[in-house]
A = this chain, B = another copy of it.
Amino acid sequence: MNPPDFAPHRWEKLGEESLAATRIFNLRRQRYRHPRRGDARDFVVIDSPDWVNVLALTPEKKLVLVSQFRFGIDDFSLEIPGGVIEPGEDPLAGGLRELREETGYAGRNARIIGRVHPNPAIQNNTCHLVLVEEAVPVAAAQWDYDEEIAVSTLPVDEVYALAQAGRITHALVLDALLFFAPLWAAAKGGPVI
């Protein structure tokens, strides 16, 4: 292994150019120079708006879940509500908007409990993880044209059990459960996982 005092270099960004644009992200080539070697290298990055995922806790201490067909894995996926934050939109507001649009739920005491990078190696955005309490149905859901969502609620501990059993596989949903674990343990007075 390398010596304990080894520090990786910070590469110097020389420029970038767009390779392709899609509805929800752009593909970008970034050119970097290694500060010691001096040579230039290209790396492709997925340039995306920030995302938000929402843990909505009902008065009965259940979590609001959504199931939908996902084109990436070509299959259904059990998740928490979430989506893309709009330009200029506050992440917390974006989370509450997605919750309401996808499920018709709204709640109180909304706050960000974590922020993660979906993939620091190849992707530049942040996913904000939001917790909302006292969530109840307040309106009809308003789906996008291609959205179809089954909404359900499940006791928190059962959601953690589903996650550990491999029934919830969305990496960013599982991150929300990691950040929520100490809060839920404090609320119920015992360990979660």
Q: Which residues of A contact B (CB under 8 A)?
A: 1-2, 4, 6-11, 13, 19-20, 22-25, 27, 30, 32, 34, 41, 43-46, 67-77, 79, 103-105, 114-124, 127, 137, 140-141, 146, 148-152, 163-164, 166, 169-172, 174-175, 177-179, 181-182, 185, 190-193
Q: From the candidates B182, B185, B190, B193, name the one contacting A182 in the complex (CB within 8 A).
A: B193
Q: Is the CB of A69 within 8 A of B118?
A: no
Q: Which residue of B lies closest to A193 (CB)?
A: B181
Q: CB distance A69 to B174 under 8 Å?
A: no
Chain B neighbourhood of A151, CB < 8 A: 1-2, 6
Which of A7, A123, A137 gathers most chain B CB within 10 Å? A123
Please tell me which one of the listed residues B23, B116, B163 contacts residue A169 in the complex, with CB atoms under 8 A apart. B116
Asked whether, in the complex, the Cβ of A1 is within 8 Å of the Cβ of B137, the reply is yes
The number of times this chain is found in the oligomer is: 2
Please name 15 pairs of A and B residues whose Cβ atoms are closer than 8 Å in the assembled complex, sorted by A: A1-B137, A1-B151, A2-B150, A19-B20, A24-B44, A41-B146, A70-B120, A72-B122, A72-B123, A77-B120, A79-B120, A174-B174, A178-B181, A190-B191, A191-B192
Task: Report the bound CA distance from A140 to B3 in whole Å.
Answer: 10
Q: How far is the CB of A142 from chain B (nearest CB, A)?
A: 11
Q: Nearest B residue to A114 by beta-carbon distance?
A: B166
Complex Cα–Cα for A24 and B137 (A): 43
Instruction: Assess whether B175 is in contact with A124, with CB atoms less than 8 Å apart.
Output: no
A161–B7 alpha-carbon span in the complex (Å): 23
- With A22-B44, A30-B71, A46-B46 in contact, do A171 and B141 touch (Cβ < 8 Å)? no
Contact A117-B72, Cβ < 8 Å, known A9-B148, A185-B191: yes
